[in-house]
Amino acid sequence: MWSSIRTAWTIFLHMFRRRETIQYPEEKPYIPPRWRGRIILSRDPDGGERCVACYLCAVACPVDCISLQATEDEHGRRYPEFFRINFSRCIFCGYCEEACPTYAIQLTTDFEMGEYDRQNLVYEKEDLLIEGPGKYPEYNFYRVAGLAIGGKDKGEAENEAPPVDLKSLLP
Amino acid sequence: MSEIGLALANVFGVLVIVLAVAALLIWVERRLLGLWQDRYGPNRVGPFGLLQVVADMIKILMKEDWVPPFADKAVLVLAPQIIAVVALLAFAVVPIAPGIGVVNMNIGLLFFLAMSSLGVYSLALGGWASNSKYSLLGGFRAAAQLLSYEVFMGLSLMGVVMLAGTFDLRAIVEAQRPLWFIVPQFVGFIVFTIAGIAEMRRLPFDLPEAEAELVAGFHTEYSGFKFGLFFVGEYIGLVLISAMIVTLFLGGWLGPWLPPVVWFVLKTALLIAFFILLRAALPRPRYDQLMAYGWKVMLPLALVNLAVTGAIVVARAPAH
């Protein structure tokens, strides 16, 4: 009986404590920079699309919400013809970001993407592509990769030596 | 003619106000629980979240009014009506202030006890008619709990009746003019409060619905309007028991300076807040603990209180 009364008194005193509630729309909670929110496609510092349409994100996705089609431009650069993320399926696990070899697909801190119509949650490439490089400002895949494309031959990438001529005896 | 008009105004006034208060309590309870749990509670819909009541009502009335195919339909529909009607009927005898109140019975207290006893039919029948395990268990618990706590609920009031010398609730209030009965009948007050919480199935004693173990107890299979009736019945019960404690132990409408109605409403509101505080603070006892507590602690206490009060009343009575 005594402990019950003391409990009730303690609870009563909680009336004068500070509220824990964050009044959300007016008052924003702290979002950590590594928050896994709305997915974007970033561009390299030169403004080109980073995505090379390797399908690794689509394979890694546990709910199969990413769909894309690869194609090539006149320089031999691969890029996605379309890139579609169905956010009504996405579980924001971040596996696509982990799988991406070119830092193209990234998760952001934005989570306010409510819609009245489900169809509006299907984001096309125009909706996903952003203007900047996202979390990796300096990185450019084609500049560091050994792959030859139009305008950049073998051995011309950063930190890459020209290929050895196997048919020559000179050092 | 004006007498009939006054009576009608009383009847419908009390009915409307009690129902409105019962609905408002949904909001009050959530806000107060929030207050005591370091959060705000519903505060978005309308000023202070007051229109939450309307939103809740619309939601509950728009729900599908579903009757399970395995249930006994007639009884299932009847059960929630009993509790709401019985709780409202019991309100008829509550003396709110001089001139306000539905009827003035010379057996008002007995009528209140009878009506609160009838409430058990609602729970037991509802649990039985649902024809599912959880409902049945909840119904059984309700029947056992309400019957056990009824015993000393009545007994704890007999001290008040002896002191006042009447069952008439208005006369009982008037008898408290020199001294509120909470002082001479403190034990009776404690016992009646605890029995009242158990009788209205308020939270430390909400074993019939015990959502942690029985899903929702006797109203597991209820939805929509029928569930709403159970809900309203419970909140009317809360108001009723607070009003009865005020009437019997806290001097009813008596009080200085303010008009009688204000005093009655103020005391009742404080008691309601206290019951909600108990809900926020206390855990639910085990079922055997509840039974043991009722029969082994509360019943003897009520009997001792009865005997002592009786002895004092007899000793102080003028010799013939």
Residue A10 touches partner B, C-beta closer than 8 Å: yes
Mutate to test the interface with A, among B32, B33, B36 (most CBs of A within 10 A): B36
- The pLDDT of residue B71 is 82
Inside any domain, residue A65: yes
What's the alpha-carbon Rg for chain A, to the nearest Å? 25
Among the partner-chain residues A8, A17, A23, the one whose CB lies closest to the CB of B278 is A8
Inside any domain, residue A106: yes
Residue A119 touches partner B, C-beta closer than 8 Å: no
Look at A11 and B35 and tell me if their CB atoms are within 8 Å.
no
Beta-carbon contacts of residue A127 (< 8 Å; ≥ 6 apart): none
- The pLDDT of residue B231 is 84
Would you say A77 and A104 are in contact if contact means Cβ atoms under 8 Å apart? Answer: no
Tell me the β-bridge partners of A83: A68
Beta-carbon contacts of residue A13 (< 8 Å; ≥ 6 apart): none
CA distance B278 to chain A (A): 6
CA distance A28 to chain B (A): 16
CA distance B226 to chain A (A): 31
Tokens of B150: 């009824």
HSE of A79 in the Cβ direction (CA atoms, 13 Å)?
18
Would you say B146 and B119 are in contact if contact means Cβ atoms under 8 Å apart? Answer: yes
Among the partner-chain residues B36, B39, B278, the one whose CB lies closest to the CB of A21 is B39
Inside any domain, residue A124: yes
| Positions in chain B whose pLDDT score sits under 50 | none
Inside any domain, residue A152: no
d(CA B24, CA B11): 20
Residue B36 touches partner A, C-beta closer than 8 Å: yes
DSSP of B34-91: HHHTTS--S-SSSGGGTTHHHHHHHHHHHS-----TTS-HHHHHHHHHHHHHHHHHHH
- The pLDDT of residue A143 is 84
Compute CA distances A43 → A9, A80, A91, A136, B48, whole Å. 60, 13, 24, 10, 47
- Determine which helix (DSSP H) or strand (DSSP E) holds B18, and give its type and residue range: helix B2-36
Residue B273 touches partner A, C-beta closer than 8 Å: no
- The pLDDT of residue A85 is 92
Inside any domain, residue A86: yes
Look at B277 and A12 and tell me if their CB atoms are within 8 Å.
yes
Mutate to test the interface with B, among A3, A10, A19, A24 (most CBs of B within 10 A): A19
- The pLDDT of residue B215 is 79
Inside any domain, residue A16: no
For residue range B222-251, what is the model confidence (pLDDT) as tens digits? 888 888 888 888 888 888 889 889 888 888
* Burial track A21-58 (b if 16+ CB lie within 10 A, e otherwise): eeeeeeeeeeeeeeebebbbbbbbeeeebbbbbbebbb
Look up tokens 């309308």; give the residue: B46
Write the CATH number for A69.
Answer: 3.30.70.3270
Would you say A12 and B36 are in contact if contact means Cβ atoms under 8 Å apart? Answer: yes
One-letter amino acid at A166 equals: L
What's the alpha-carbon Rg for chain B, to the nearest Å? 20
**What residue numbers bound the domain in which A92 lies?**
32-142
Would you say B220 and B214 are in contact if contact means Cβ atoms under 8 Å apart? Answer: yes
Tokens of A44: 């390299």
Inside any domain, residue A6: no
DSSP of B154-219: HHHHHHHHHHHT-S-HHHHHHHTSSS-TTTTTHHHHHHHHHHHHHHTT-GGG-TTT-HHHHTTGGG
Residue A4 touches partner B, C-beta closer than 8 Å: yes
d(CA A67, CA A83): 6
Beta-carbon contacts of residue B281 (< 8 Å; ≥ 6 apart): A4, A7, A8, A10, A11, A12, B36
Would you say B264 and B246 are in contact if contact means Cβ atoms under 8 Å apart? Answer: yes
Tokens of B27: 């909001």
Would you say A105 and A34 are in contact if contact means Cβ atoms under 8 Å apart? Answer: no
d(CA B116, CA B89): 9
- The pLDDT of residue B1 is 56
- The pLDDT of residue A89 is 92
Own/partner pairs, A126-131, CB within 8 angstroms, 24+ separation: A128/A39, A128/A40, A128/A41, A128/A83, A128/A85, A129/A40, A129/A41, A129/A43, A129/A49, A130/A40, A130/A41, A130/A42, A130/A43, A131/A43, A131/A47
Beta-carbon contacts of residue B261 (< 8 Å; ≥ 6 apart): B96, B97, B100, B253
Residue B270 touches partner A, C-beta closer than 8 Å: no
Tokens of B103: 């009827």
CA distance A90 to chain B (A): 30
Residue B39 touches partner A, C-beta closer than 8 Å: yes
Look at A15 and B36 and tell me if their CB atoms are within 8 Å.
yes
Task: Domain count for chain A, please give it.
Answer: 1
Among the partner-chain residues B36, B37, B282, the one whose CB lies closest to the CB of A4 is B282
- The pLDDT of residue A62 is 93
Inside any domain, residue A128: yes
Among the partner-chain residues A12, A18, A23, the one whose CB lies closest to the CB of B36 is A12
Look at B35 and A15 and tell me if their CB atoms are within 8 Å.
yes
- The pLDDT of residue A69 is 92
- The pLDDT of residue A98 is 92
Which chain B residues are Cβ-neighbours of A17 within 8 angstroms? 38
Residue A18 touches partner B, C-beta closer than 8 Å: yes
- The pLDDT of residue B197 is 87
Work out the number of other CB atoms within 10 angstroms of the CB of residue A169.
5
Work out the number of other CB atoms within 10 angstroms of the CB of residue B262.
13
| Positions in chain A whose pLDDT score sits under 50 | none
d(CA A100, CA A130): 16
Compute CA distances B98 → B105, B147, B254, whole Å. 14, 33, 10
Residue A1 touches partner B, C-beta closer than 8 Å: no
Which chain B residues are Cβ-neighbours of A7 within 8 angstroms? 281-282
* Burial track B181-215 (b if 16+ CB lie within 10 A, e otherwise): bbebbebbbbbbbbbbbbbbbbbbbbbbbbeeebb
CA distance B42 to chain A (A): 11
